[in-house]
Amino acid sequence: MKRFTFLLFTFFLLALATTNCRMSEKPVEKKEVVRGVIAKNGMVVTANPYASEIGLQILKKGGNAFDAAIAVQFALAVCYPRAGNIGGGGFLVYRKGDGEVGSLDFREKAPKSATKDMYLDKEGNYLTDLSKRGALAVGVPGTVAGMAAMHEKLGTLPFADLVNPSVDLAQNGLQLSEYDAGRFNTYQEDFAELNRFEIPLLKEGGWSKGDSIKYPNLATTLALIRDGGRDGFYKGKTADLLVAEMKAGNGIITHEDLEAYQAVWRDPVVENYQEDYRIISMPPPSSGGIALVQLLEGSEFFDFTAMGHNSVESIHVMTELQRRVYADRSTYLGDMDFYDVPMDWLLGADYLTKRFGDISMKQKTNSQDIKEGKVEVIESVETTHFSIVDKDGNAASITTTLNGNFGSKVMVKGAGFFLNNEMDDFSAKPGEPNMFGLVGAEANKIEPEKRMLSSMTPTIVEKNGELFMVVGTPGGATIITCVYQTIMNVTAHGMNIQEAVNAKKTHSQWLPDNIILEEGAVDDSVVEGLKALGHEIDSRPSLGRMEAILRLPDGRLEGAADYTRGDDTALGF
């Protein structure tokens, strides 16, 4: 059916290619081939060199990929506090060396006293700051429960051995990179305004590259987790401090909320792509897996190899696919424990053929014609992803977040960690966008103990039944499209994994009705070609920060860190 539909599009593709041939032609340049880190016995790719080193040391000590992932998660809470966390949540997609696959949902939940209208005033107006800043924006954290659950099922080394390196890092301190110092400086006013004490990240005169910082309270909290497991966070001193912070800031998380939280093992989204590949990704409450598979299945209707990378034609088609997929996300996706997500229907061949069958190669489709809605701006985003493969072929793909940069900006007094602002990921009011410009509906409304919808897309790809790729990225609403393009860069455009990660990305998400181009993604002729098709163009300095691993034909691993966009580091041995 897909191939038949593809033939119907071919005429339009050829016509457009002919009329725009001069526009899309570029002089042939010989480019130096860039490669990632190559290793045989294990690979760790994270957003921070401290975290990558800690993960690598766990592998060298005989730990498996899941042991290393637990150690990396706690390390990121110290060295990457803008997104690494113990006060947030996330998702794991895994594949064991024997082919077993699964996923773990440690996404935050709404507190038991949360209500559908908790961010609306008496007139029903959406009070946007309440879901983004301060204690009322915080969902019940899931990270520590997730790490404990992962260790119980998949870990091999003692839990304490996996947490202790982060205790030492927080106690002894670390040096800031220029990138981290800049982020700390950006949020100095927020840190001062939203905290009732002087947090370690505040510094008169600002931070500079090479400055040292220590987190003694965080070291104490991590030691409690090291010694007590999940109870070291959800009960006792840490729980008391977290609840006290809630009371001080008019938050609503209670001891009962904390003790009741459980991470959940779920069946991943598993679908074939083309003849050789199998996609393993995260199910709801992540929208990532379903949306990614829809995009890849839709791509099979078109010859992206012939269209070329970031051409007028390929960007136009990707945009058209993305608009339909993000409209579906808004309408149909939410926490499966609360809402009957029609997953089989959304991924069915009949639906996808009809959904993508009206894409024209001659002009764009207006988002308002796909579904109603309005949004003016997408705010900054922050999440982090890491990918790990060990010598036995076990693979862990984890995306974790506080939501916005430093989450709610509230640090727990005496405990030293930031709290998330994940309540903003609910649909606080149908038709109103969250901080990422994503519009929600009934499926994602606020309900007690419900998990908010996410765009995080930790993914593993098999090729001919063998491990092939581990991939993921931060970026809020742009996560799905960046993961999609990275996979396409390898499978359709013939790039190696480092080239695929480095390549400039584009993004469209139904609303707003535009295309976001990463700066330097295309030349002026492509911009003009897209405008001729009716597209509105915007730009952003950076899209995504991919952390990926590719298994090479000889069995070695290539780790591709997104070093062009941050301090991301791949380490292997």
Question: Could you tell me where the DSSP H helices lie in 88-235?
Answer: 143-154, 159-172, 178-186, 188-194, 216-228, 231-234
The residue written with tokens 């725009």 in the block is: 20
Q: How many residues can be counted in the chain?
A: 573
Identify the CA nearest to 433 among candidates 377, 497, 499, 481.
Answer: 377
As a whole number of angstroms, the distance between CA 283 and CA 270 comes to 9
Q: What is the DSSP string of 313-373?
A: HHHHHHHHHHHHHHHHHHHH-S-TTTS---HHHHT-HHHHHHHHTT--SSSPPPHHHH---
Cis peptide before 553 (omega within 30 of 0): no
CB atoms within 10 A of CB 358: 11
As a whole number of angstroms, the distance between CA 70 and CA 148 comes to 9
Identify the CA nearest to 326 among candidates 121, 145, 492, 484.
Answer: 484
As a whole number of angstroms, the distance between CA 477 and CA 383 comes to 11
As a whole number of angstroms, the distance between CA 323 and CA 315 comes to 12
Which element (helix H / strand E) includes 76? helix 65-79
Give SS3 for 261. coil
Instruction: Give the largest CA-CA distance in the chain.
Output: 69
Give SS3 for 147. helix
Amino acid symbol at 155? G
As a whole number of angstroms, the distance between CA 348 and CA 29 comes to 42
Contacting residues for 296 by C-beta, under 8 A, at least 6 apart: 273, 279, 484, 487, 488
The residue written with tokens 């609403």 in the block is: 477
- Phi, psi for 248 (deg, rounded to 5): -70, -30
Active-site residue list: 383
- Phi, psi for 538 (deg, rounded to 5): -130, 170
Identify the CA nearest to 287 among candidates 419, 91, 433.
Answer: 91
Identify the CA nearest to 424 among candidates 409, 399, 403.
Answer: 403
